[in-house]
């Protein structure tokens, strides 16, 4: 019997926890039915390594941007830079960008400026914007909505673990919510309710590896193979078998990340 095919829509294969044994990591992912992965570049100076990984493996794609927590320590990205990078056949998304006021609220304005540049690049290229949001729900909803009214773009709220209000704002704009291992944590009941109330055709799954491993691996290094555990929790939440849920979320991925379809 063939395994359900699943997509890990967000991981960091260039991070040392995974890069040091990349062949085995990808082999285990494929053995678990995770046939496609998007590895995310969080600082443009890391792009050569990220791009090389994507070019070296079938089914591995990449996205590029500046993570909000790195906005101050890295050169401010330009729209032109991101648009030029998007010409690469395996670059399938813009980001991750966003707002993080948890540790880096002092760079709030710079984060917002960077976010708007990433949004404009997503608008110009037609590639989906990949959003990281933490402790910034009001500004996040406001900027995403303002910018959408100024010109449409597509977007995924990566590793969604924010409020029901931000989920609703994103869904109303036609955006997607991505389910990570956090949604499978025992104390994440309120988050599971947010996902359960969302339309199935707006859900993606991801690991955010090497972080946030789902049970039964919680507290250990995460890797793309473990996407299946989050997907099983998602299937249970929607009252579906794993194969049906995997097919639905893969179709959603294809619709949003059209270059990887």
Binding residues for a divalent metal cation: 10, 12, 96, 132, 158, 208
Question: How is residue 190 written in tokens?
Answer: 């309120």
In whole angstroms, give the CA distance from residue 122 to residue 21: 32
Question: What CA dihedral angle connects 258, 178, 35 and 82, to 10 degrees?
Answer: 50
**What burial class does residue 121 get, using C-beta atoms within 10 Å of its C-beta: 0-12 exposed, 13-18 middle, 19+ buried?**
buried
Annotated binding-site positions: 10, 12, 96, 132, 158, 208
Q: Is the dihedral of CA 64, 92, 2, 183 positive or negative?
A: positive
In whole angstroms, give the CA distance from residue 3 to residue 245: 13
In whole angstroms, give the CA distance from residue 48 to residue 39: 12
**What burial class does residue 238 get, using C-beta atoms within 10 Å of its C-beta: 0-12 exposed, 13-18 middle, 19+ buried?**
middle
In whole angstroms, give the CA distance from residue 85 to residue 62: 11
Question: How is residue 227 written in tokens?
Answer: 């996407």
Question: How is residue 235 written in tokens?
Answer: 């299937």
In whole angstroms, give the CA distance from residue 51 to residue 71: 21
């Amino acid at each position: 019997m063939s395994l359900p095919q699943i997509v890990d829509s967000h991981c960091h294969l260039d991070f040392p926890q995974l890069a040091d044994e990349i062949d085995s990591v990808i082999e285990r992912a494929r053995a678990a039915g995770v046939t496609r992965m998007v590895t995310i570049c969080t600082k443009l100076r890391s792009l050569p390594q990220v791009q090389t990984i994507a070019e070296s493996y079938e089914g591995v794609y990449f996205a590029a941007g500046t993570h909000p927590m790195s906005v101050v320590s890295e050169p401010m990205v330009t729209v032109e830079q991101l648009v030029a990078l998007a010409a690469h056949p395996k670059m399938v998304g813009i980001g991750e960008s966003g707002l993080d006021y948890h540790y880096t609220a002092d760079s709030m304005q710079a984060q917002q400026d960077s976010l708007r540049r990433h949004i404009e690049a997503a608008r110009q290229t037609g590639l989906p914007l990949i959003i990281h949001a933490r402790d910034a729900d009001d500004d996040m909803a406001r900027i995403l909505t303002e910018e959408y009214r100024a010109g449409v773009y597509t977007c995924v709220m990566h590793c969604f673990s924010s409020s029901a209000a931000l989920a609703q704002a994103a869904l109303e704009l036609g955006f997607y919510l991505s389910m990570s291992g956090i949604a499978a944590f025992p104390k994440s009941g309120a988050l599971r309710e947010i996902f359960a109330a969302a339309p199935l055709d707006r859900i993606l799954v991801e690991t955010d590896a090497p972080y946030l491993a789902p049970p039964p691996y919680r507290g250990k290094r995460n890797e793309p193979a473990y996407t299946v555990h989050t997907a099983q929790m998602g299937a249970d939440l929607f009252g579906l078998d794993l194969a049906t849920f995997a097919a639905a979320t893969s179709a959603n991925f294809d619709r949003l990340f059209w270059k990887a379809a």
